[in-house]
Amino acid sequence: MRLLLLAATLLTPLPAAAQDRVERVVMLMRHGVRAPITGEAPLDTKVAGQWPTWPVAPEFLTPHGARAIAQLARHDRRWLNGAGCPAPGTVRIHTNTPERTIATGRAYADALAPGCNLTVEHNPEGKTDPLFEPLRAGATAFDATKAVAAITAYTGGVNALTARHAATIRELDRVLGCGLPAGCSTPGLATLKPSADGRGVDFTGPIRATSGTAQVILLQYAEGMPMRDVGFGRADAATIRRLGALHAALFDVFTRSPYMTAHQTGPVGDHMLRTLTAANGPRLEVLVGHDTNVTALAAALGVDLDAPGFARNDAAPGGALVLTRRWDARGPYVTVSYRVQPLDAIRKGTAKVIDRPISIPGCAKRCPLDRFDKLLRAKLAPVVAG
């Protein structure tokens, strides 16, 4: 009888909480909806009409964008234990130095824990943060000549990249409405070469010119502007998604070739892995950067970014890659998800948020922590001593 009771005890499942619990969450997030960057739609782009005005200075987070970030933060409260203010050290929010990233971090912090005055960390103005701008910071042993060769191999050449998107460029011309046979953006062949300082690559041509214009039109829609002002009244949601492929194509140059991925993700990937694997650390760490950061990490993970309303691999405002360290009876493991608002939810200010689970090549959805660390670290360029 005792043996039967013992056997029954051993076969009794552990409580759900003991089987699987969240230990730590580390996420890399793009800033929220902002006003266009000066020159993002090239100044010589020809249009039929006037570009609409924005409520804030160029590059700044808009109030509408801040409200969308607050929706995401309220969704992310689930990662915190209990109500009230988080205990000291359990939440860390670190942003890049531009206003749009700092303001995003502040909007997120205030909605995540209202009244708690969570700290939003960032470098002082003028000090490059290697987590978010590794090439500019010289954080890895980046070789611009090798980068150009790697991008050329990955894309088949930047003019081949242009050719693959020729139909979408023509659709953008229709939206811009200039009616010129040569198109509305600067025509000509694309070029790719090492930058003068050796800390990046210089890319010119149709994709470079049209990618920013497509992003500006998407931001108009996300901002909730009247449809008569979105793409001069000639761009609906389906059109904006198609045009987003031009913006996504920019990352084929700057982040998605293995060489660029390694160097663009080296410092932030190393940081995230250190946080994820440390014996002690914050329960939630949020890093607020840019589309280049999120697309580079996605490439390092070997996954695509996919969200309603957005072209594949075009990072959504506020969208985040979420690395979750969990524990079950087999030990610590990692899951990855893309936490994002659909484009229409951002536009309308609704609370809809999607957590899209992502399977990691070579590891599926449940990846043992040590294996995840090994797989991702193999894709990262080592950080050099600064």
Separation CA 175–CA 210 (nearest Å): 12
Separation CA 374–CA 365 (nearest Å): 16
Give the pTM.
0.93
Separation CA 104–CA 110 (nearest Å): 10
Ranges of beta strands (E only) in the chain are 20-30, 91-95, 120-122, 191-194, 201-204, 284-289, 320-328, 331-340, 354-358, 367-368
Residue 3 has pLDDT above 50, yes or no: no
Q: Given this model, what pLDDT does residue 311 score?
A: 98
Q: Given this model, what pLDDT does residue 337 score?
A: 97
pLDDT per position as a tens digit, 329-381 = 999 999 999 999 999 999 999 999 999 999 999 997 789 999 999 999 999 99
> For the chain, what is the total number of helices (H) and then of strands (E)?
14, 10
What token pair was written down for 263? 């160097």
* Range from 63-72, 79-88, 114-123 carrying the lowest mean pLDDT: 79-88
Nearest to 300 by CA among 380, 228, 226, 372: 380
Per-residue buried b or exposed e for 362-386, using 16+ beta carbons within 10 Å of the residue's own CB: ebeeebebeebbebbeebbbebeee
What does the pLDDT average to over 110-132? Answer: 96
Separation CA 174–CA 349 (nearest Å): 29
Average pLDDT, the chain: 93
DSSP labels, 212-232: HHHHHHHHHHHTT--TTTGGG
pLDDT per position as a tens digit, 255-285 = 999 999 999 999 999 999 999 999 999 999 9
Residue 5 has pLDDT above 80, yes or no: no
CA torsion sign for 130, 134, 136, 140 is positive
> 112 and 283 in contact (C-beta within 8 Å)?
no
What token pair was written down for 220? 């108009």
Q: Given this model, what pLDDT does residue 302 score?
A: 96
Residue 368: strand pairing partners: 333
Residue 16 has pLDDT above 70, yes or no: no
Q: Given this model, what pLDDT does residue 240 score?
A: 98
| pLDDT confidence band for 326 (50 / 70 / 90) | very high
Separation CA 333–CA 351 (nearest Å): 30
